[in-house]
Chain A
Amino acid sequence: MMKTFSIGGIHPSDSKISKDCKIEVLPVPSKVYISVAQHLGAPATPIVKAGDQVKVGQVIAEPSGFISAYVHSSVSGTVKSVGPRKDLAGNNMTHIEIDVEGDEWIEEADLSDTLVTAIPEDNKAILEKIKMCGVVGLGGATFPAHVKLCPPPGKKADCLILNGAECEPYLTSDYRIMLERSKEIVVGAAIMKQVLGGCPAVIGIEENKPEAIKAMAAAVAELQRSAKGYEGISVMTLKKKYPQGGEKQLIDAVMGRQVKSMGLPIDVGAVVQNVATSLAVYEAVQKNIPLVTNVMTITGDCLPMEKQHNYKFRIGMPLSYIAEYAGGIPEKAAKIISGGPMMGKAIANMDATTVKGSSSLLYLTAEQTVRGVESACIRCGKCAEACPMGLEPFLLNKYARNNMMDELEENAIQDCIECGCCLYSCPANIPLLDIIRIAKGDVIRIIRGRTAKK
């Protein structure tokens, strides 16, 4: 029997229209704008100034805290300016503007296609490389990868889970890299598993991607035959259900363990990394290539098949440039989303640029995005049934609207993962997630304030 997480979940149509589009490499534009906030945590501090010459892969911003990451130049050329520019939500953020001249990489980068299977022995050096190459989690949250790979003292990883669920509808970038870069992903998994102390690694993939399951299983088998250090890696087929790719849901599905409220995956001995992160780890450790590229999907129902793409992009490319290159924005598109339709963000500013975690340009039509008229809660309980964290959204909605912070905390609003299942399932069109998200922020601030006081 196929495994999946135990509570809640929904089954949206998977709409993986662009799944057969091979990854194409986007040409470098004449100018890029690289944001210093491409990861969770403190924005990085720029270390270049206008007039500096940079190469591809050169560090241009340093981390400014424990949870922060290096940012590298994705092009070679001259730094034009360092200053505020609007990100995709329209908020100001420091960007480094670079005029592109040629495509000269840093010397240590190995750009050849040869697969390096021998894993270096020094774990400290590996972690340092992952950190120096600015690798962050590419599953959505962009949490710095090296932090996750160093469990706090006293805690041990029992299992490394590679997230290949890609449960969001429409997105196919992870699927494509699992098909086209399967061996590299497995090497990345072997590296991370060694750093974590040799625990087993499981690559979790949903059943709707049989080719990816086959490709990954073949890559694992071949590497286990031909090289050392690959034992204990396996592929697990998961029953399709959204949000399988959620960290806590995936741990439940693969290991059958539940992370406690406000707890971390490492508390139950799990470390979860996306397959794209694994690829970035491979490139950083084996090829000395910093994280300056990633794969994104250009898709949507209103886009003809020939305009559907999976692109390998470099960070700092304007979204408008990518949309233009891909054949323009379709006329019927009413909303453009970066990320999946469930958790992605609507783009308010097409002049914004790609970041490490960019995963798509998704065109939705007016019919797909329009919100129904809100009506009274009929207490059908569909939201409570759908919530993968076992919360009661209808209750949280009521408490949140009345600012009842104690009750919200008692009902574990802080555990909400903002997956949107409640909003998706509500027949009364109540903006459950919008209201819960705001109240969740308030409650977490209260909890943090309390622990800070102690």
Chain B
Amino acid sequence: MTQTIIWTIAILTVLGALLAVVLYVVAEKFKVEEDPRIDEVEKVLPGANCGGCGQAGCRAFAQFCVESSPNLDKCFCPVGGNDGMQKVAAVLGVEVAAKEPQVAVVRCNGTCENRPRTNEYGGYQSCRVKAALYSGDTGCSFGCLGCGDCVAACQFGAISMDPATGLPVVDEEKCTACGACVKACPKAIIELRNKGRRNMRVFVSCVNKDKGAVARKACKAACIGCGKCAKVCPFEAITVENNVAYIDFTKCKLCKKCVAECPTGAIHAVNFPVIKPKPEAPAAPKPAETPAAETVNKEA
């Protein structure tokens, strides 16, 4: 009995020692040389693996950063933001220029009220499927389809559908500007725009390329491409192309002149402090509280 135990222990010990040697030799022989900095960079990354940086995941991004060091101009992790990039730069011992933080902006204001439904969609609830079948259940063939592909694409829970309007709402606190929703939207309504000074932004909330009369008929809040905003803009930030205006966020100085000029209220100014109605503006700006604490200052 005792002998059996002793033999067992002896055999297993010898076997273990032998295999340890084999493993050691194999590990030495097939060792993969890897820059230890990749691990260090990966540690300071958020680990969301969202792909917002353009790489396959956080590990791939860390490798990309190390490879492109010392010039990190092409590397940007939208989730970590500028702070995160500073940490990466510190690990690599290089300098990185701060980037303007961005946020996803939904450029459609085709609420149930503004954009009456012209037919009923009974198919599978997916924007991609719906867009492949037809132009949508309203007269506007450019606007939001309302099936929530962007909501499903967001890993951070930053987009939700507002049941009252049927449009997606971006939670600016949670949005990391990874761009997943931009890719998911088959109508290319969502755009990444600079967050702007104190989160204040002015943008055209419409992408309808139809001629003015057609667009207006389909949706009360459509951009009709009249060009009044472009004329009034002192900074040449607004261009009108294909019957729709676009505000270049790098040029816009937030003067809000265009907002007052727009005849359909398609230009939205958000997060501006609410000011009391002035006598020359009879239609008092209505601050509409959305779940995302977004203050819409619309002057129709």
Size bracket, chain A contacts: 20 to 34
Q: Which residue of A lies closest to B186 (CB)?
A: A438
Q: Compute how far the CA of A268 lies from the CA of B134 in the bound complex, rounded to whole angstroms.
A: 35
Determine whether B164 belongs to the interface, using a CB cutoff of 8 Å to chain A.
Answer: no
Q: Closest Cβ of chain B: how far from A178's Cβ, in Å? A: 32
Shortest distance from the beta carbon of A344 to any chain B beta carbon, whole Å = 12
With A431-B123, A435-B124 already in contact, the answer to whether A86 and B132 are too (CB < 8 A) is: no
Mask: chain B, 131-154; 1 = CB below 8 Å from A; 0 = not: 011111101010000000000000
* Chain A residues within an 8 Å CB radius of B139: 90
Q: Mark each residue of chain A from 411 to 448: 1 if its CB lies under 8 Å from any CB of chain B, else 0.
A: 00000000000000000000100110110010000000
Known: A92-B210, A431-B123, A437-B132; 13 extra A-B contacts, CB below 8 A, are A84-B210, A86-B135, A86-B141, A90-B135, A90-B136, A345-B134, A348-B118, A348-B119, A369-B122, A371-B124, A431-B129, A434-B123, A441-B132
List the A side residues contacting B129 at CB < 8 Å.
431, 434-435, 437-438
| Residue B71 is within 8 A (CB to CB) of chain A in the complex | no
Cβ contact within 8 Å between B122 and A370: yes
Distance (Å) between the CB of B212 and the closest chain A CB?
13
B43 to chain A, nearest CB (A): 29
Verify if A346 is at the interface (C-beta below 8 Å from B): yes
CA distance A346 to B210 in the complex (A): 23
Residues of B within 8 A of A441 (CB): 132
Contact of A451 with B by CB under 8 A: no
Residues on the B chain within 8 Å of A431, using CB: 123-124, 129
A343 CB to closest chain B CB (Å) equals 13
Shortest distance from the beta carbon of A433 to any chain B beta carbon, whole Å: 9
B37 within 8 A of A: no
Q: Evaluate contact between B134 and A434: CB separation under 8 angstroms.
A: no
21 residue pairs of the A-B complex, CB under 8 angstroms, read: A86-B135, A89-B134, A89-B135, A90-B134, A90-B135, A90-B136, A90-B139, A91-B134, A92-B210, A335-B122, A346-B133, A370-B122, A371-B122, A434-B123, A434-B129, A435-B129, A437-B129, A437-B132, A438-B128, A438-B129, A438-B132
Interface residues of B (CB under 8 A from A): 118-119, 122-124, 126, 128-129, 132-137, 139, 141, 210
Closest 7 CB pairs of A and B: A90-B135, A89-B134, A431-B124, A434-B124, A434-B129, A348-B134, A91-B135
Q: Which residue of B is nearest A430, CB measured? A: B124
Across-interface contacts of B141 in A (CB, < 8 A): 86, 90-92
Picked from A84, A86, A371, the residue with its CB within 8 Å of the CB of B123 is A371
Residues A346 and B134 in contact in the complex (CB < 8 Å), given A86-B141, A92-B210 = yes
How many Å from the CB of B130 to the closest CB on chain A? 9
A91 to B141, CA, bound (A): 6
Complex interface: chain A residues within 8 A of B123 (CB)? 371, 431, 434
Complex Cα spacing A437 to B131, Å:
12
* Interchain CA distance A335-B126 in the complex, whole Å: 20
CA of A370 to CA of B128, assembled, Å: 20
In the bound complex, residues from chain B placing their C-beta under 8 Å from that of A90 are 134-136, 139, 141
Which residues of chain A are near B119, meaning CB under 8 Å?
348
Look across to chain A and name the residue whose beta carbon is closest to the beta carbon of B131. Answer: A438
Q: Give complex CA distance A92, B134 in Å.
A: 11
A369 to B126, alpha carbons, bound, how many Å?
A: 18
Flag A47-73 by CB within 8 Å of B: 1 or 0 each. Answer: 000000000000000000000000000
Chain A residues 87-109 with CB under 8 Å of chain B are 89-92
Question: CB < 8 Å: which of B118, B122, B133, B210 contacts A89?
Answer: B133
**Chain A residue nearest to B119 in the complex (CB):** A348
Output the least CB separation between B248 and chain A (Å). 26
Residue numbers in A under 8 Å from B134 (CB-CB): 89-91, 345-346, 348
Q: Min CB distance, A183 to chain B, in Å?
A: 40
B124: min CB distance to chain A, Å: 4
Q: How far is the CA of A371 from the CA of B134 in the complex (A)?
A: 18
**Could you say which of B124, B128, B135, B210 contacts A348, with CB atoms under 8 Å apart?**
B135
Q: How far is the CA of A348 from the CA of B139 in the complex (A)?
A: 10
Cα–Cα, bound, A434→B210 (Å): 28
Q: Which chain A residue lies CB-closest to B209?
A: A92
What's the Cα separation between A348 and B131 when bound, in Å?
A: 13
Alpha-carbon gap, A233 to B37, bound state (A): 77
| A248 CA / B118 CA spacing, docked (Å) | 38
* A275: min CB distance to chain B, Å: 29
In the complex, residue of chain A having the shortest beta-carbon distance to the beta carbon of B125: A431
Complexed CA–CA distance, A345 and B129 (Å): 13
Tell me, rounded to whole Å, the shortest Cβ–Cβ distance linking A387 to chain B: 19
